[in-house]
Amino acid sequence: VFELISGLSINSAKCYLSLIHADPATILLAEACFRCKASSLPMDYIGLQITLLPPAPSFWNGLEQKLSNHLQ
């Protein structure tokens, strides 16, 4: 539906789904419905680590530069 409405396409090879506290059957169903692979946390997103825990203070060091590099 998104592709038909927007004219854009989703690269499912680059899409990951992270379910928290999900059983294997639910994960398989979600992969089939959304046509993407399941991933677990922690994971990287545009060079930043995504976790369930709050980031360590050192995480914020250089964050502005990392984001700036990805946005150029």
Closest among 33, 32, 55 to 42, alpha carbons compared: 55
Domains of the chain by residue range: 2-71
Q: Are 2 and 10 contacting, i.e. CB atoms less than 8 angstroms apart?
A: yes
pLDDT tens for the chain, 72 residues long, are 778 889 888 888 888 888 888 999 999 999 999 888 998 888 888 777 888 888 888 878 877 777 787 777
User: Residue 35's pLDDT is what?
Assistant: 86
**What's at 32, amino acid-wise?**
A
Which structure tokens are listed for 40?
């677990």
Query: What gap in Å lies between CA 27 and CA 39, rounded to an integer?
Result: 10
Query: What gap in Å lies between CA 17 and CA 36, rounded to an integer?
Result: 7
For the chain, the C-alpha Rg in angstroms (whole number) is: 16
User: Residue 68's pLDDT is what?
Assistant: 80
User: Residue 43's pLDDT is what?
Assistant: 86
